[in-house]
């Protein structure tokens, strides 16, 4: 560890919290999608995946409230509330969380049976991007909870996307559980949302769906989805109205199928779609282990197979990405075959590697693990612009920002990773 790196992490963590907050309840912003006849003003409690306005030319349009991204952001908000330096700041973060809970409950009460087709006010050239009317009118009950995203004003997303996605309710439950575990006050709304999401997980534990990278042709079994579902059930046992042992057992069995004994890595997708080790590994595994935060055993940081998988990812991206030549810790992408916006290195995946090493240090009491986490943080620092703004990814050859600007998930990941580092230093007695 170096004082220089520690100071940078502290500074970047503060800035990341500030930039992340700009995407929460961004009621001062307005998004006009004239081709679809939409003018959208975010509601209190909504979380923008990115507040940047873009139309896929060349940046993606992320002006949506994603269940996955918003829940991960709220987990960071819970941490910020718990570690706030004074009472006014603590109350501000708590208000954000409670607004998010209220907004989430309003989304859960939407009913697609009342939906009116927007085709008449949609530009004819863009009607091909609209969802079928039958799909929209089927959005009620569990079909609604399997939606990946909504407009941040609380209305339906009318555009074609990869559906259904079952990690959102699990991550939202984990965010609520984190809020309560770190001293947040329970109220009727939080308890209602938590029950809603945990019950959904029990009904859909281990089922096929679209994964965290939202590839349309991958409606299958995803390690990430099963891991966060299991994490929510394990951490949420005390909040359950009835035991969920059968669902937990099913999820553990599903997760075990993802282990390739031949290649000694966890595969992100089952049945396997790759032929070799380099094709099976995917950074979604790291995110699944990190977000599930299981206390011990398989699929936790105590699982040696997780570290074999991380080693496999390091091997792949050290070879595949020119930016990683000579690096002590490589910047990690999603998978070798990824070509989304060039398939570069993602901040959230590289931060996940650092975070897992810090969590391992806290669990093992071994300060040496902090050094490996710091190697990944040094890589993140090297690809962070001087102004501290974090995009979705960086180009694999040039290291320049790519895809969405100001990805809110990137900021949340940095905040949470910095907290895990602080915890590891405190628990191991390491010097900063």
Residue 177 scores a pLDDT above 70? yes
- Predicted confidence at residue 241, as pLDDT, reads 80
Beta strands in 248-355 (DSSP E): 259-260, 265-266, 269-270, 345-346
Length of the chain: 432
Residue 242 confidence class, pLDDT cut points 50, 70, 90? confident
**Minimal CA–CA distance to 7: which of 421, 411, 408?**
421
How many structural domains does the chain have?
1
Residue 361 domain boundaries: 3-428
- Predicted confidence at residue 26, as pLDDT, reads 98
Give me the chain's average pLDDT, please.
97
* Rounded mean pLDDT, 186-209: 98
pLDDT in tens, 26-72: 999 999 999 999 999 999 999 999 999 999 989 999 999 999 999 99
The model carries a pTM of: 0.98
- Predicted confidence at residue 1, as pLDDT, reads 57
| Residue 266 CB partners (closer than 8 Å, separation 6+) | 223, 258, 259, 260, 281, 285, 305, 306, 309
Q: What is the CATH number of the domain that holds 75?
A: 1.50.10.10
Judge whether 362 and 424 are in contact, CB under 8 Å: yes
- Predicted confidence at residue 2, as pLDDT, reads 81
Residue 404 confidence class, pLDDT cut points 50, 70, 90? very high
Residue 106 scores a pLDDT above 80? yes
The proportion of the chain whose per-residue pLDDT surpasses 90, expressed as a percent, equals: 96
Judge whether 174 and 291 are in contact, CB under 8 Å: yes
Residue 360 scores a pLDDT above 60? yes
């Amino acid at each position: 560890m170096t004082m220089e790196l520690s100071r940078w992490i502290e500074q970047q963590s503060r800035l990341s919290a500030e930039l992340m907050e700009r995407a929460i309840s961004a009621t001062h912003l307005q998004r006009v999608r004239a081709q679809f006849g939409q003018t959208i003003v975010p509601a209190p409690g909504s979380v923008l995946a990115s507040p940047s306005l873009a139309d896929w030319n060349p940046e993606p349009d992320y002006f949506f409230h994603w269940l996955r991204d918003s829940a991960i952001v709220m987990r960071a908000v819970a941490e910020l509330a718990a570690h706030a330096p004074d009472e006014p700041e603590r109350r501000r973060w708590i208000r954000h969380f409670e607004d998010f809970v209220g907004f989430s409950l309003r989304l859960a009460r939407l009913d697609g049976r009342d939906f009116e087709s927007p085709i008449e006010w949609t530009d004819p050239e863009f009607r091909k991007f609209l969802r079928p009317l039958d799909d929209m009118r089927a959005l009620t009950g569990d079909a609604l909870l399997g939606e990946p995203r909504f407009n941040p004003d609380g209305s339906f997303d009318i555009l074609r996307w990869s559906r259904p996605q079952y990690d959102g309710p699990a991550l939202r439950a984990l965010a609520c559980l984190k809020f309560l575990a770190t001293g947040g006050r329970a109220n009727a709304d939080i308890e209602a949302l938590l029950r809603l999401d945990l019950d959904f997980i029990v009904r859909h534990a281990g089922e096929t769906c679209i994964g965290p990278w939202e590839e349309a042709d991958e409606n299958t079994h995803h390690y990430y989805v099963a891991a966060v579902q299991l994490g929510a059930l394990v951490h949420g046992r005390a909040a359950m109205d009835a035991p969920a042992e059968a669902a937990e057992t099913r999820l553990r069995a599903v997760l075990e199928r993802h282990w390739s004994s031949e290649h000694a890595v966890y595969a992100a997708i089952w049945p396997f779609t790759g032929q070799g080790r380099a094709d099976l590994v995917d950074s979604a595994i790291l995110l699944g282990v990190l977000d599930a935060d299981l206390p011990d055993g398989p699929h936790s940081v105590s699982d040696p197979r997780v570290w074999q998988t991380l080693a496999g990812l390091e091997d792949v991206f050290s070879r595949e990405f020119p930016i990683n030549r000579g690096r002590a810790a490589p910047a990690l992408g999603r998978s070798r075959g990824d070509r989304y916006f060039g398939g570069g290195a993602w901040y959230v995946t590289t931060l996940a590697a650092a975070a897992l090493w810090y969590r391992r240090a806290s669990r093992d009491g071994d300060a040496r693990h902090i050094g490996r986490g710091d190697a990944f943080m040094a890589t993140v620092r090297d690809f962070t612009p001087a102004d501290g703004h974090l995009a979705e990814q960086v180009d694999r050859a040039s290291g320049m920002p790519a895809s969405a600007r100001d990805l809110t998930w990137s900021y949340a990941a940095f905040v949470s990773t910095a907290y895990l580092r602080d915890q590891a230093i405190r628990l191991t007695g390491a010097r900063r």
